[in-house]
Chain A
Amino acid sequence: MEVFLPIAQVFINPVEILLLSAIVGVLSGLFGVGGGFLMTPFLIFMGVPPAYAVANEANNILATSVSGSTTHWLKNTLDYKMGLIIVIGGSIGTTLGIFTFTYFKGIGKIDTIISLAYMYILAIIGTLMLVESLGEIDKAKKNIVEKKKLHVHYWIHGLPFRMRFPKSKLYESIFTPIIIGLAVGFIAAIMGIGGAFILVPAMIYIIKMPTKLVPGTSLFVTIFVSVIVTFLHSINFGSIDLMLVLMLIVGSIIGVQVGQKLGEQIDSSGLKALLAILLLIVGIVIAYDTFFAENIQNEIKSVESKDLNFFSRFIKEFSEDMPFFYGLFSILFAVILGIAAAFIRRSISKFREKYFKKVVKQSK
Chain B
Amino acid sequence: MYLSNLKILNKITSKKSSFIKTGIFSAIAACWGFIIVGTFITFK
Chain A contacts to B: CB under 8 angstroms: 112, 116, 119-120, 123, 126-127, 130-131, 134, 280, 283-284, 287, 290-292
Contacts and interface: CB of A to CB of B under 8 A. Distances in A.
25 contacts: A116-B39, A119-B35, A120-B35, A123-B31, A123-B32, A123-B35, A126-B31, A127-B28, A127-B31, A127-B32, A130-B24, A130-B28, A131-B28, A134-B21, A134-B24, A280-B27, A280-B31, A283-B31, A284-B34, A287-B34, A287-B35, A290-B42, A291-B41, A291-B42, A292-B38
Interface of B: 21, 24, 27-28, 31-32, 34-35, 38-39, 41-42
A123 B36 CA distance: 11
Which secondary structure dominates chain B's binding surface? helix
Contacts of B31: 123, 126-127, 280, 283-284
Contact of B35 (A112, A130, A283): A283
A119 B34 CA distance: 11
Given A126-B31, A284-B31, A291-B41, 8 more contacts: A127-B28, A134-B24, A280-B27, A283-B31, A284-B35, A287-B38, A291-B39, A291-B42
Nearest to A131: B28
Contacts of A120: 35
Contact of A291 (B21, B27, B32, B38): B38
Interface centre among A119, A134, A287 (most CB of B within 10 A): A287
Nearest to A120: B35
A292 B35 CA distance: 11
Nearest to B32: A123
A134 B20 CA distance: 10
Contacts of A292: 38
Contacts of A119: 35
Nearest to B30: A284
